[in-house]
Structures are given as structure tokens and as C-alpha cells.
Amino acid sequence: MSRKKIALIGGGQIGQILALIAAQKELGDVTILDIPDFENAAKGKALDLMELRPLGGYDVEINGTSNYADIAGSDVIIITAGVPRSPGMSRDDLLNVNLKIISNVAENVKKYAPNAFVIVVSNPLDAIVYSFYKVSGFPKNRIIGMAGALDSSRFKAFIAMETGYSVKDISCLVLGGHGDTMVPLSRLATVGGVPVSELISADKLTEIEDRTRMAGGEIVKLLGRGSAFFSPAQSAIEMAESFLKDKKRVIPSAALCEGEYGIDGLFIGVPCVIGSNGIEKILEVQLNDAEKTALQATVLHVEGVVKSTGL
């Protein structure tokens, strides 16, 4: 059996961590693609990772390039090409510059790797993944946005920090857009099957929900330059791994909704079953009135950003 191929479009902060984790997990051979100005940087990172192989003991190839022909035959493509935010910026402020970049990336991916499963990470996520879908014409099961995996991980992390209990036993779901309007669903969060409402006070839970919504910005402010990269990379890897190993994990992700949750024609964060056919199913959960109102607000927000792409 030959190895799988993973192409990383964008070899910056997230791209380099993606390459490291994909190699450590031996998910397949890795190609890091960046713009010509950063081709040598991509090659340098790839060579560094090749030299780490004897220590890590992983038998995969890692290459750097700026030539799209090198992504031919990729099974998975993870796109982080684009600009991250700086302190004070919202993800939406990145739209104009990242829209141009994603259009170029989509044309090339369509040309060189038309059968790949594509995971978009670049922000503003919901509009950028929509733009990739429009420009590439990829089927909806093979194009997905990484957001909910990260937002849920942040939600879980804050619950773990509050309770002191293992992150392994925390289960929770964040719906909606990847921005300040996202909907962390405390009602469905559990620790080892015990509802969090029995472990954490209502006021504290509201605080945790707010911190989850603003978690990306909290890190942008602390870093002073660029945005989070470790946790976004691991989140995208979980999605890639579920596809490559047909694990059928249920991972909240931005998927094209066509009727689910009453949403039509938008990529929004919903629980997705990810297997070898890509997004195999969107799971629907009954929401109460307050949750429905919050979801409508996030949908309205995403719709506005998507409209401004003109696509």
C-alpha cells in the first residue's frame, strides 16, 4: 500500500505545525507549498522535519515547494494560505486580502488535485470556505472548514480548567460561525456524562461561553503578532485523520448546509460525521428557543460576510 499524500497550502505558523503533527502521526507524505518568495522557507522547514525523522522515528517524506504540480494526487489538502489577524482586528477584517488568495488557491487545487478532501483554515473561515467551494466547484462532501473542532476544544479546555477534571472526559459542542457570534452549547456539555450545569454555576458557565467566543482574540492580543497556531493545527489534523482512516468521528465543522438547522446555502459550524467519503452526514440536534435565536444571529452574521464576497 502506498502512502497517502497530504498537501499543506501555506507553510507559515499553522502550516509548519500541521507538517510536524502529520509526520509524527505518519498520516502520509507531506508537501508544504508556499508562495515563491517563501519557497526556500518551505524547503527549509521540510528539511528540518526530514532531519527530525530519525529522532521521531517516522517514515514519511516531507517536501517544500511553490509549484502546484507537486500537490498532484493529494488525498488531503489543508489550506492556511493567507494573512492572520493583528491585535484589534476581527477575522472579518481579513476578508479582502484572503479572498484574493483563496481564489488563486482554489483554481490551482481544482487543476492539480481535483479529488482531494479539502480542509480550509484561513479566516474569515465561513466566508473563505464558501469562496473555495464557489471557485473550485468541489462537491460539498469534500470541502470543509476547520472551526468547530477548535472552538469546542477551547470550550472543553476552559471547562477542564474550571473543574480540574480530565480534558479526556469532557464532551461539548459549539455551533455557528467562527467568530464572536458562535454558539457554545453549555446545555449539552458533559464531564464523564455528568451535565456541566451540575458542576459549574450558571454565572461561571456564562463566563466560560463568553471566553470561548473571544478565545482567538485573547491569544492574538497576547501574541502581539499573528494568531493561534498549535490548537488550530491539531484541530485540522483530527479532521484529516478521520477522513484518511475512515474513523467516522463526529467533529463540529463548517459544512455546506442545505436545509439542516433551517440554513440554506451557507457554510456554518455543525456536527459532521467525517469518513472516507468526506462529510458523510450532518447531525441535527434539537435546540431550545434561546439556542435557536443565537444560531439565527450567527447565521445572519455569516450571511452578511459571505454576501460581501460577491460570489
Q: Would you name the residues annotated as active-site residues?
A: 178
The one-letter amino acid code at 280 reads E
- Would you tell me the crossing angle of helices 215-223 and 148-163 to the nearest 10 degrees? 90
**Candidate segments 99-107, 156-164, 265-273, 285-293, binder of ligand APR by CB under 6 A:** 99-107
- Least Å distance, CB 96 to ligand APR, is 12
Cα(149)–Cα(232) distance, rounded to whole angstroms?
Answer: 8
Tell me the CB-side half-sphere exposure of residue 309, using CA atoms within 13 A.
29
**Segment contacting ligand APR (CB under 6 A): 101-109, 130-138, 154-162, 181-189?**
101-109
**Site membership for ligand APR, residue 123 (CB under 6 A):** yes
Q: Is 98 in the site for ligand APR (CB under 6 A)?
A: yes
The reply to whether 9 sits near ligand APR by the rule CB under 6 A is: yes
Which is closer to ligand APR, CB of 60 or CB of 150?
A: 150
Q: How far is the CB of 12 from ligand APR (least distance, A)?
A: 2
| Phi-psi domain of 57 (left: phi exceeds 0; alpha: psi -120 through 50; beta: other) | left
- By CB under 6 A, name the one of 27, 32, 38, 130 that touches ligand APR: 38
**Is residue 109 near ligand APR by the rule CB under 6 A?**
no
Point out which span in 121-129, 155-163, 198-206, 297-305 binds ligand APR (CB under 6 A). Answer: 121-129
Residue 117: which H helix or E strand, with range? strand 117-120
Contact 155, 128 (CB under 8 A): no
d(CA 28, CA 221): 35
State whether residue 306 is helix, strand or coil.
Answer: helix
35 binding ligand APR? (CB under 6 A): yes
Give the DSSP per-residue string, 164-210: ---GGGEE--EEB-SSTT-EE-GGG-EETTEEGGGTS-HHHHHHHHH
Interaction with ligand APR in 216-255: which residues (CB under 6 A)? 226-227, 229, 232
Minimum distance of ligand APR from residue 78's CB (angstroms):
10
CB-nearer residue toward ligand APR: 12 or 275: 12
Beta carbon of residue 110, minimum distance to ligand APR (angstroms, whole number): 14
In the chain, % helix, strand, coil (3-state, to 5) comes to 50, 20, 30
Long-range (24+ apart) CB contacts under 8 A made by 197-200 are 199/163, 200/159, 200/162, 200/163
Nearer to ligand APR, 90 or 163 (CB): 90
Binding site for ligand APR (CB under 6 A): 9-15, 33-35, 38, 80-85, 94, 98, 101, 104-105, 121-123, 226-227, 229, 232
